Chains A and B, each alone.
Chain A
Amino acid sequence: MKSPSWLAALLLRLLIRGEGSEFVAGDLIERYQRERREGRPEARARFWSALLASGWSWWRPGAVMRRMRQRTRRGEGMGMWVQDVRAAGRSLRRRPGFAFGVALTLGLGIGATTTVFTVVDGVMLRPLPYDDPGRLVALGTTFPTREWADEEAGLQHLAGMSLLNFRDLSERARSFDGLAGVELTNVLLPDQGSGPEFAGAARVSPDLFHVLGATPAIGRSFLPDEHSVDADAVVMLSYGAWERRFGGDPNIVGVSVEPVGQPFTVVGVLPADFEPPETFFRAMPDFWLPLQPDHPRYANRGGRSLALIGRLGAGTTVERARDEAREIGLALAQDFPEGNVYPDGSHFGIGVNGLHQQTVGTTGRTLGIFLGAASLVLLLAAMNSATLLLARSLDRTRELEVRAAMGAGRARLVRLLVAEAAMISAVGGVVGVLVAYGGVEAFLRMAPSSLPRLDAVAVDARVLLVAAIVSVGAGVLAGLLPALLSTRNGLSVGPSRTSTAPRSRLRTLLVGGQISVAVVLLSGAGLLFSSFVHILTVDPGFEPEGLVSMRVALKRPGAADEAGWVGWDRVIEEVSTVRGVRAVGGVSNPPFQSPSWAPRLLLPGDPPDLWREGVAGFAITPNYLETIGSSIVAGRPFDRGDGPDAEPVVLVNSAFVQAHLEGEEPLDLVLRHVEGGEESSMRVVGVVENVVQTSADEGPRPAMYVPHTQVEWPFVNVVVRSSDDPTVLVRELRNAVARFSPVIPPQDLRTMSDRMASTRTNPRFQAFLIGAFASIALLLAAAGLYGTLAHNVRRREREIGVRLALGSARRGVIEMVLRDGLGIVVVGLAIGIVGALGATRVLTDALFAVEPNDPLTLAGVALVLLAVAVIACLLPARRASSVDPVEVLRSE
């Protein structure tokens, strides 16, 4: 080792400059090495203070200024730059409006890019908040028909795992330093004035905190023998829960916590900075309990309730762990077919994803689209600035000629112009960072909660560094080309003016380019917008307005042996007494909530091992369909007669008929339902309209409905139709549920409109964001077009005046300017459309009911752009036609 650290080596190079810097640096290192050999503990501190002191003597402002003055006197190096920057500053001060306009333009582009980069940085680039996070992986069950969530990206689709499979996997796997399982649950806290309350809880296997590298802030974590139903019940608290619920009591260990039914003794508190992996935990659970593998609920391999987190052994890769997991999955399917193998012989497997990849999922693609769109805005802003700078250099041809005549070489002139652009873009960078602060704030406020890791998103030094690099890059790009062209052919003084043709051509090119970029962005925005409109206008198959739903658990004191459906009826009875309630129904899962029952159905004539996938099952009360405003297409709805002892009956929806019945008459068809190896029959008595299941953009999905009296269901979602104010209704509904069961409050109490809206935040957000970028783009492109044409007209005023004086019609002048402008527009539009045809393909996954190359959208985009362009052209054209020939000729 030479220097104390790489940072020291870097600073030695950066800070210690000038003549003899080598000797000073060498001395510092030598002294440090010697003192270290002598075992003097202050060696490091002395090294650093000496390094900083030496650096200061070279870099302190006084010394820097003195050197600069010396150099300026000698006419070399930095000194010249200082002169250039000063000259640029003077020149910009003469036209502050121009400078500010360009800075604003660049600032918009830089701001858009910085905003999106901030998000990408937080979500994608920052490591997860654990020790050595690259070795953490998520594990889970893979389904035979759906192994990959995104095969290209190497992301497996992972479902939960049964405890038995988890145990066997832990015993057989060699790739991991640790494997841990987590099960989310909740505990019910007794009424403390504001009614009983559910609090989030997690059951964790012994290794979890070890795998994640968390040590308790207070007390201890669980002992091995506490992971058993026979052990004393213990609990750990999250730091937040300890502060919130127990006032941060330092003597918390040993205190008894008493949720309904089971007292626990607190053994420890988790550290304040502990964050459970976001991919499994939507919120921080308050209570952490030991997972008890000997609990009877884990005896079934088909019950996949555990999320798994592992730490890869040193030198192992995700791919190798994945290969091993796949093999173990296969072996488990052979050793324990029950619960691991489908009737058709296909089997569940075990999958592994990097924890970071699992957390961000396919979000990267969406963010990539955002970043691409923001970069296009930046590109457009840079082109726009370049046109403005070009226009300005045209106006300054004389000034540059004079400078050249006074002896400034080409390099000097280019430097002057680039210095101007760089100064402007520095201001643009400041504007951009301000825009980014606001932009990130707005982004976080509007972003759908499905975007992971938003808490890691913040404007910080890294982001500012990127903004600075982008600003300088954009500034130099926008400044260099105009500067090179303005000084190309050697500037000459006198009547033979420097040629302006190359600059005019470049300007035309840049304006056309802006139009093309704007068209690409507008097309993307147009597609997302029309896709969003399609989602808004999908018929949900029922009438969501005025509906409120809530989930009610059916366990209540003194009703242990009661059949589930009795509870359904009791709750509904209570709720229907609430004032303002016009109709009440019960369902296992209401619309916009993923259905939790995927029954295995067989049609007459199906072989017994056939698996008809993708049918969602619902239990409903007779008046449910009427309550939500859905309608029966054929046959009859359920009625009171469809009781527990009556003939089992079923309703199917239109999508079911279409997907599985192929023109057969559905009514009176007998379906067979297989569950746990037992088969039962149900007769189809009616066909129902398709009702949205999870979200509007999923398309029609097959579903079947059975009477709530003919299945066991441990909870009910009560759906209420009312014309009353929802806030009053909500309170009354809580009271009604409390009358049914004073212990367990309703959960997930929300209006249907709210449920519906939350499934739309994603498409709405995307359409809005890209729409905002496209609006900026359109505005900038239009401004660029207008500015260029207006500038042309001004430069040609004399020519136009002469034409008019010689008898040209004003109409002809207008047409001339329009021809110039629209020529550029049409070419830019054509190129933009071609670009859009390619670029919008990245949106395929984000679009609903619209093709990426939707001709209607593209035509609409073209129309909007043409309309804006015509206005941008007409204004300067009118100005040209109002030129007074007498004035112009007199001013010569």
Chain B
Amino acid sequence: MGRALGEFEQLILFALVELEDEAYGAAIGRAIEARTGRSVSAGAIYTALDRLASRGLVTSWVGEPTGERGGRRRKYYGLEPAGAAELSRSVAVIRSMSEGLMPKLEAITGSEIR
């Protein structure tokens, strides 16, 4: 087992969960932006995906060229079982650590955490 997943890596892996077979750079960026309102650069997504691929957490395959992209191909990514396991482990870590502490945190920040 490698080091723990970073926050951005978690976002990407969740995007892969959501997009299933349709996960490629622009779609991943869109998914993250839609859910978090955060705009992320293509370069950052690919860098993170490369890193995840080298750890065996994701896999990739190349699609057909499309006119919409000026004849360029898409590179799709998919979640490996190891990736899914790693993601659920890191979510579980957060969940078990935050168990019962949310009301207290909300009291400190003074606002509701959704």
Contacts and interface: CB of A to CB of B under 8 A. Distances in A.
A6 interface: no
A27 interface: yes
B97 to A, nearest CB: 33
B24 A2 contact: no
Interface stretch (A16-24, A297-305, A476-484, A850-858): A16-24
B73 A31 contact: no
A539 interface: no
A28 B70 CA distance: 10
Contacts of A735: none
Contact of B41 (A26, A29, A53): A53
Interface residues of A, number: 22
Nearest to B72: A26
A23 B73 contact: yes
Contact of A26 (B39, B43, B50, B74): B74
B41 A23 contact: no
Contacts of B50: 20
Interface residues of B, number: 20
Given A24-B25, A27-B25, A31-B26, A54 B43 contact: yes
B9 to A, nearest CB: 17
Contact of B29 (A20, A27, A57, A58): A27
A30 interface: yes
A50 B70 contact: no
B68 interface: yes
B68 A22 contact: no
A31 B70 CA distance: 12
A210 to B, nearest CB: 42
Contacts of B73: 22-23, 26
B69 to A, nearest CB: 4
A23 B68 contact: no
B46 to A, nearest CB: 6
Interface in A339-389: none
Interface string A40-54: 000000100010011
Given A24-B25, A26-B74, A54 B68 contact: no
Contacts of A30: 26, 68-69
B48 interface: no
A29 B69 contact: yes
Given A20-B75, A31-B26, A53-B41, A26 B46 contact: no
Nearest to A54: B43
Interface string B6-35: 000000000000000000111001100000
B70 A2 contact: yes
A775 interface: no
A25 interface: yes
A23 B24 contact: yes
Given A20-B75, A50-B41, A53-B41, A27 B26 contact: yes
Contacts of A695: none
Contact of A33 (B29, B42, B68): B68
Contacts of A623: none
Contacts of A25: 69-70, 72
Contacts of A57: 41, 43, 47
Given A20-B50, A26-B73, 8 more contacts: A2-B69, A27-B29, A29-B68, A31-B29, A31-B30, A34-B26, A54-B42, A57-B43
Interface of A: 2-3, 9, 20, 22-31, 33-34, 46, 50, 53-54, 57-58
10 contacts: A2-B70, A22-B72, A23-B73, A24-B43, A26-B26, A26-B72, A29-B69, A30-B69, A50-B41, A54-B43
Question: 5 tightest CB-CB pairs across the interface, nearest first?
Answer: A26-B72, A2-B70, A26-B69, A27-B26, A27-B25
